[in-house]
Structure 1
């Protein structure tokens, strides 16, 4: 932690401010350290890349709260994963929330404005994460390493770290492009100091992300060869698959054949669908209970060492309330916030009585339909993430912060992306696609009763199947947009701020550039409609 604080001080000295928002201000921890001091310590490089990975899971330097990366919003809310989950899930039919903090409900209502503080803080979190990656790359150039006398095994490690930092930046820029389309753009090649970054157009950012991933494809550590929780070649291939599957949205040109190419590379990398009950994938020991064999890239959490009121602490506590037993979840009490809509429940045949093991609804004392969005018992609760192991034992920090890891990329998603790209005309094999889908459904049903045939594999089926398999894993908003069902077509309860749901304006497929950044950066133009 001491090393990370020193690194953050150096980062403060060289941070490229992409906004004048208070959200980007950092306070130096030690005014004696310079980059020369910090990077003379070989441990600094690993500490810095650890900070970049921790940017997804933690909200500051002093868990669970007290020394935040960003100011302007409650630290728990400002967490990368919690905000990204809110953008991807609360805006859809898979989740809504009882709380009325600020403009939080506007996400589900789809009536947000450019002044929404959650949209603004997500944007700022992305830019902060990119700035961290840029600074790591500035501090690890061959010339600087030569000047510091870095050779041998440490030099090799740093080269690996550089590829991972580029992956993490590409991942963040993908999230930014997907949500905001045309953000400000900064790399390690830009000057250090205060300046107004240029805005990049979505299609150009797509090209940049693609070029970065292709450049590191053979530089990053091989598939399944890196430490758990760190990116490897399969993570690069999976992100390329996602990029190409959504290429028509981002650029206007379909790339489904490329999506198939990279999905096949990931599928051939040695991962396999975990032969465990579906619920085991989301338990406190999901790094070791067999679930990890299908996890391509996880955000690790440890109840004692990665404490935050965002991340998996939010994901385990927020969906628990009403008559639900907190002990079953390995926590000391629920937050009575998140549940789901009847539209999602109806994705499953027979609803809560479905033989599909992914229909993990809690219905005791809960109503399927929602009359009062602020009442947790209106709407079925979802039992997905828990802080207990397969034997029911609580995690290392019983009650508060979970050990449950978040599976950002897993093989089931790649199977479904392959199947969709086939159906959309990208090539591949229809029979293979059906086999992949049936492998997931056999795990869900425990038998072959849910298996499908070639004629069943349609786009409508795949959109629903992705929701059944991947709900609450930060895919739904992107999926609905790709299928044309997010704004001006799809309807679900309380969308449009009416109980029965309504369509919204098509421009809401893209989030607004925050008004605070528009106000200070004259190079930025607001996205249409806002």
Structure 2
């Protein structure tokens, strides 16, 4: 078991079930399912509870319930379709040109990977609901940590000294939830701690969400802990800077405004925070990435622990799913020899980005082993190349604590992405330095043991898009990147099975935003409306 900020233990688990959390959206009918569940008024009488309840907000990023990986605290929503990291991976990566899921009878996956989704897709409902639960959890924590509440409970001065940072973290996690709603759905049910519990929420559109996220993250900066000074797994100033950099990089998509100079500014702030690239690229994706050199690079992880936080999250899915049906290479990556029998494979568009110049690049973990590159029949698990990027092995030669549920944290944000954002924002007119941008790209290649360094003449937007794929594949960025580069919808760039065509077909423009789940509209019919085209 890993040593970390114990964000998913005891009350950190239990607080996910506080019954008052239905305030954010009425389709989140949270019902206690555990004899140990404590309602908020009693819970907060204990000084030690404040950090544990904060832990519950973090826990919602990894867990779906308290009774193991198959349990769900969202009424009528399955755990397999609502784990935050997993559904984020599906919506951002499976929907694009890098990944194929073999078992299309799994709810919602066929429609996501063939770009056939509708408002009834259970994965979209899971993402919409899980993200709103993060908002509700944060709102509840903020309501219970006001000065008046703390005075009434005679909270100790030692705990009170921590509360400003705790509240800032809760607000950051809420802003992050709204960021993903803005990106994926273009709108969200909107509520803060100032709204009455169980009131019907208003709805914010993209412009309103952008303004809220930007304002909120800037307001809490003073109270957040400095970069790399918080406990591992907790957010700090650099996480706020990362979200700001990302909304500014994508501002032309979100609000039709150029914010590239702001993106450069916040990239520079992150880089000044003391981060360094991991010694080895693959350290970022190993079972000890909380203690190996990846701790210098990972800005914010979704924590996974094979004992404490058993869940079917993104790293458990990718490590078990990447084991080849032919190769049965699970033992070397720290899971069962057969894994999940070839559940995941690589679309040829990603494989083709690793040509001869990348044969020895550490980022190239694609295994062909005599397989055909083409996936003509998605159910044929022996076709298409496989990937061995993520592992339940450690950098010291051992393995994770469980051979199904992995110890590998999901690197939601890491420094390599910041280097690539800086280079792109510079090319888009955001300022900064061309030589610095080139140096950042070459630092990534040097770290990957790739001698093919670039010069300023090589740096172009098309190059950046490809290099982001080589560096960040299967890290839940690709859909967003393709939309920013105007390659996701339309027919200027097609990939296998795009739009359900074996060689790819054009997608209508409204597919740049997902539909609002019909069940969520039914829960807030007076305010929440469907996105155009659906």
Q: Please, what TM-score do these two structures have when normalized by structure 1?
A: 0.94
The offset of 1:96, in angstroms, is 1.4
1:456 aligned partner: 458
Residue in structure 1 matched with residue 6 of structure 2 by the alignment? none
Q: In the TM superposition, what whole-angstrom CA distance separates every residue of 1:347-380 from its partner, at most 9, and x where no partner exists? A: 12228x7232211101125321111111222211
- The 1:341–1:33 alpha-carbon spacing in structure 2 relative to 1, beyond 3 Å, is closer
Cα distance in 1, alignment partners of residues 10 and 110 from structure 2: 39
TM-fit CA distance, 1:77: 3.1
| 2: CA distance, partners of 1:481 / 1:251 | 14
Distance 2:120 2:25 in 1: 18
Query: Could you say if the C-alpha distance between residues 36 and 124 of structure 1 is closer, same or farther in structure 2, counting changes exceeding 3 Å?
Result: closer
> Any idea what SS the aligned residue of 1:239 has?
helix
CA contact (8 A) 2:12 2:59 kept: no
* Structure 2 counterpart of 1:512, from 506, 511, 515: 515
Q: Is the 8 A contact 2:115 2:500 kept in 1?
A: yes
* Correspondence for 1:299 among 285, 298, 302: 302
| 1:36 CA drift (Å) | 3.0
Partner of 1:106: 111
Match of 2:5?
Answer: none
In structure 1, the partner of 2:360 is 355
Q: Secondary structure at the match of 1:24?
A: coil
Separation in structure 1 between the aligned mates of residue 344 and residue 39 of structure 2, nearest angstrom: 45
In the alignment, structure 1 segments of 5+ residues that lack a partner are none
Q: CA distance change for structure 1 residues 78 and 192 in 2, over 3 Å: closer, same or farther?
A: same
SS at match of 1:519: helix
The CA deviation string for residues 460-498 of structure 1, in whole angstroms up to 9 with x for no partner, is 000000000001111111111111011113200011111
- Range with bigger deviation, 207-216 or 113-122: 113-122
The Cα shift of 1:17 comes to: 5.1
Q: Is structure 2 residue 20 aligned with structure 1 residue 13? A: yes
Change (3 A) 1:8 1:412: closer
Q: Which aligned pairs between 1:94-493 and structure 2 lie closer than 5 A?
A: 94-100=98-104, 101-193=106-198, 195-276=199-280, 278-322=281-325, 323-332=327-336, 333-335=338-340, 336-350=342-356, 354-397=359-402, 399-444=403-448, 446=449, 449-488=451-490, 489-493=492-496
Shift of 1:254: 1.0
Cα distance in 2 between the residues matched to 1:167 and 1:73: 26
After superposing the two structures, state which structure 1 stretch, 171-180 or 363-372, moved more: 363-372
Residues 36-75 of structure 1 mapped to structure 2, 5 A cutoff: 36-66=41-71, 68-75=72-79
How large is the RMSD of aligned CA atoms in angstroms?
1.8
Aligned residue number for residue 499 of structure 2: 496
1:6 touches 1:38 (CA, 8 Å); kept in 2?
Answer: no
Match of 1:77 in 2: 81
Q: CA deviation at 1:30?
A: 5.4
Partner of 2:109: helix, strand, or coil?
coil
SS of 1:305's partner is coil
1:263 and 1:312 map into 2 onto residues whose CA distance is: 26
Inter-CA distance 455–117: structure 2 relative to 1 (3 Å threshold):
same
Deviations 1:440-459 (A, max 9, x none): 01112x25x21111111100
* Cα contact 1:55–1:129 (8 A) shared by 2: yes
- Residues 201-238 of structure 1: per-residue CA shift (max 9 Å, x gap): 10111000000100111110111110011101111111
Paired with 2:264 and 2:45, the residues of 1 have a C-alpha distance of 45
After superposition, the Cα gap between the structure-2 partners of 1:427 and 1:6, relative to the gap in structure 1 and judged at 3 Å, is closer
Is the Cα contact below 8 Å between 2:499 and 2:507 reproduced in 1?
A: yes
CA deviation map 1:359-415 (0-9, x unaligned): 110112532111111122221111111101124311122x12111111111110000
Shift in alpha-carbon separation, 1:15–1:58, aligned structure 2, 3 A: same
Where does the alignment leave 5 or more consecutive residues of structure 2 unmatched?
Answer: 1-8
1:494 touches 1:500 (CA, 8 Å); kept in 2? yes
User: Is the Cα–Cα contact under 8 Å of residues 331 and 400 in structure 1 kept in the other structure?
Assistant: yes
- In the TM superposition, residue 343 of structure 1 has moved relative to its aligned partner by 0.8
In structure 2, distance between residues paired with 1:400 and 1:45: 32
| CA shift digits 1:258-284 (9 cap, x unpaired) | 0000100101111111222x2222111
Question: Is the Cα contact below 8 Å between 1:77 and 1:310 reproduced in 2?
Answer: no
CA contact (8 A) 1:17 1:24 kept: no
Pair 1:199–1:441, CA change in 2 (3 A)? same
Deviates more, 1:427-436 or 1:109-118: 109-118
Q: How far apart, in 2, do the equivalents of 1:382 and 1:34 lie?
A: 45
Q: Note the alpha carbon deviations across 1:228-259, whole angstroms, 9 max, x for none.
A: 11101111111111111111110010100000
Count of matched residue positions in the alignment of Structure 1 and Structure 2: 520
Name which of structure 1's ranges 195-204 and 229-238 shifts more when overlaid on structure 2. 195-204
Superimposed CA distance per residue, residues 56-96 of structure 1 (whole angstroms, 9 cap, x where no aligned partner): 11111122334x22233432332111111110100000111
Partners of 2:349 and 2:37 in 1: CA distance: 57
Task: Please report the TM-score for the alignment, with normalisation by the length of structure 2.
Answer: 0.94
Equivalent pair of 2:333/2:391 in contact (CA under 8 Å): yes
SS in 1 for 2:300: strand
With over 3 angstroms needed to count, the CA separation of the structure-2 counterparts of 1:102 and 1:294, relative to structure 1, is closer
Alpha-carbon distance change, 425 to 457 in structure 1, aligned in 2, over 3 angstroms: same
Can you list the C-alpha shifts for 1:277-321, whole angstroms capped at 9, x where unaligned?
x22221111122212111111122221111112242112111213
Shift in alpha-carbon separation, 1:158–1:501, aligned structure 2, 3 A: same
